[in-house]
Amino acid sequence: MQILNSSPECNEAIKHELQLAGIKVGRANPASGEVISSVTGRLGAFTFRRTESHWAVEGLVPLEAAQEMHADPIARSGLKVGGHYARPAPGQFATVWLDPQGNLMLRVADKEETEEDLATLYPAAHRRMKRGTRVDFVADPALCGRGFVDGYHIDTDDGLLLFADTIRRYGLA
């Protein structure tokens, strides 16, 4: 994956990376932070935004799909659960659980976190909370609902392809 700087030329490179992975190319207002382009990708409910050195993917990945990706050798250098540099396994970081009604189940230990910290740990879940989704803090969220990894950073072209193929195979696109 190329290191890109914000420029008109980088937009073409970004489009090319998305097209190679079979991800629909779109446009959005440039986001704040690391995002370098208004070119975005869309695959089902997942949004892909390019930073200088990686793809930031927003969306909830079912835990079983995340675990399958994590077991693939490509994921060891190409995928980061929740963007964590230590590359923890799905379920160890940036994982949320939803009950059958769509309410968020978070660990009791997270109850003391500030809103800013929760936004960093669980970006998609934090957006759901802002829209009024109910949150319950429980001892073991895995017993109360289905697990989802809350976003990824993707560092390699092979990682982008693995992510896109897995999302399609699970019928999420």
Task: pLDDT band for 10, please (50, 70, 90 cuts).
Answer: confident
Q: Which residue has the higher pLDDT, 159 or 128?
A: 159
Average pLDDT, the chain: 88
Q: Which residue has the higher pLDDT, 102 or 61?
A: 61
Reply yes or no on whether the pLDDT at 63 is more than 70.
Answer: yes
Six token digits for residue 112: 């003391």
pLDDT score of 146: 94
Q: What is the mean pLDDT of residues 144-171?
A: 95
User: What sign results for the dihedral spanned by CA atoms 28, 29, 32, 38?
Assistant: positive
| Distance (Å) of CA 10 to CA 14, 26, 52, 144 | 6, 15, 10, 44
Q: What is the mean pLDDT of residues 115-135?
A: 79
